[in-house]
Amino acid sequence: MKEREFLEALDATMHVTLNGDGGDIDIDPVMGIKITKNKFVRVSCYVTYGDETKKFKNDKKLLKYLESAGAYENGEVNVKGIGEDKMTVEEYEAMLEFDKLDMAGLLEKYLPLADSFSLTCAYGENRISEELAAEALKKVKEKSFKMAETEFMGVSEEERKKLPPFKEIYADIENEYKNYCRQNSTLIEANDGYACFTDVFSGDRIYSSLDELWHAYSAVDFTGTCAYILDKLKKAETTRPLTEELDTEENKCLKDNLINTEVTFCWHCTQSSELSKVFYIKLNEDTVNWLKQFVSDYDLNLLEDLAFYKKGKLLFSSCTHERFHTDYSEDKN
């Protein structure tokens, strides 16, 4: 990898591995925030080679050290892996090219593959039906449980054998949460439904000895907040059409090609305690022309978080505000 590209990689990732004469060289950039531009900048690097770890703030000194270790010569850095997934240089460069795709590039890539897309917006402080509320709560409960269970399965088998099955653990934590809420109802009301239950995980809790179970406490805490929000919205005075954002002249083609609408706390790119609506829309000439009005997927505003699908399978996911997008078109799962 060229010197310039290597230094740019250090500015954009948290780990790089190089091939040195004596084995792997691990570089861990330290990021800080440059207040004037409100962005992350690299302030130093920790370099581990053999049994020694050195700190470098100066790139020239870093490159000189890498040269002495046999990982840098004639402007080329011998990069073995980039990021926690240890991408090859080729994979990393392909990722950078994908990151640069604008709306025209995305449509060129996904139009031959996709048959539908989705856009997301906030639900707002509007009344919700019992049916939609039940569906939203069921989905967030299932997803939160699954995420917490996945983290728990990362615990060694020896540790898991000391504990009850995860479903039983989770049920115990849910009961603990209910008791906690009864004792802290004033706090929860003042925090708009947030119980701060996870914050007491390290205290005198049933399962506080195993760090991985923090995720279970967090999942129960989060779903409890979602349930509070839904109960509140079921009593809201304001009533709005579910497809209100599509009931405008400029969005008419979206309404005409709407497949269905989902009310949810979790969608393809994130999970949030702000209730949202996801509109699933047919991909055709009219809706493609609607998408073409935006320079990139990051320029979407009221309707955002673009995603493409083929027969319900996610091919592409974009997170508008966070300004990142992900390709799932080759995902075999």
Segment 229-244, tens digit of pLDDT? 999 999 999 999 999 9
CA 133 centroid distance within chain: 24
Ranges of beta strands (E only) in 131-250 are: none
Residue 51 CB partners (closer than 8 Å, separation 6+): none
Instruction: Give the number of C-alpha atoms closer than 13 A to the C-alpha of residue 76, restricted to the C-beta side.
Output: 6
Q: What is the pLDDT of residue 36?
A: 55
- Whether 109 has a pLDDT exceeding 90, the answer reads yes
218 & 301 share domain: no
pLDDT confidence tier of residue 66, bands split at 50, 70 and 90: very high
> Is the same domain home to 116 and 168?
no
Question: Is residue 333 in some structural domain?
Answer: no
pLDDT (average), residues 22-33: 92
Q: pLDDT tens, 261-312?
A: 999 999 999 999 999 999 999 999 999 999 999 999 999 999 999 999 999 9
Evaluate if residue 84 carries a pLDDT over 70.
Answer: yes
Query: What average pLDDT does this structure show over 27-31?
Result: 94
Q: What is the mean pLDDT of residues 139-149?
A: 97
Structural domain includes residue 141: yes
pLDDT of residue 211: 78
Asked if 184 and 108 sit in the same domain, the reply is no
Residue 151 lies in domain: 130-233
Within a domain: residue 310?
yes
pLDDT score of 319 more than 80 = yes
Mean pLDDT for 29-34 is: 83
Specify whether 120 is located in the same domain as 244: yes
- Quote the mean pLDDT of the chain: 93
Structure tokens given for 258: 């709407």
Secondary structure of residue 153 in the 3-state scheme:
coil
Inform me whether the pLDDT recorded for 204 exceeds 70.
no
Average of per-residue pLDDT across 42-50 = 95
Please report the pLDDT score of residue 63 as a whole number.
97
Same domain, yes or no, for 72 and 144? no
In a domain, 63, yes or no: yes
* Reported confidence tier of residue 208, pLDDT bands at 50, 70, 90: low
Are 55 and 114 part of one and the same domain? no
Instruction: Tell whether 28 and 163 lie within a shared domain.
Output: no
Specify whether 206 is located in the same domain as 225: yes
Report the number of distinct structural domains present in the chain. Answer: 3
Band of pLDDT at residue 206, cut at 50, 70 and 90: low
Is this structure's pTM higher than 0.95?
A: no
Q: Is residue 182 assigned to a domain?
A: yes
Q: Residue 207: pLDDT above 80?
A: no
Classify residue 19 by burial, with Cβ atoms within 10 Å: 0-12, 13-18, 19+: middle
Shared domain check, 163 and 95:
no
Task: Identify whether residues 193 and 150 lie together within a single domain.
Answer: yes
User: Residue for token digits 């305690």?
Assistant: 273
Mean pLDDT along residues 86-97: 93
pLDDT(35) > 70: no
Q: Are residues 152 and 165 in the same domain?
A: yes
Lateral strand order in the sheet of 16-20 = 52-56, 39-49, 23-34, 16-20, 79-82
Establish if 289 belongs to a structural domain.
Answer: yes
pLDDT at 40 over 90: no
Q: Give the whole-number percent of the chain exceeding pLDDT 70.
A: 95
Q: Confidence class of residue 34 from pLDDT cuts 50, 70 and 90?
A: low
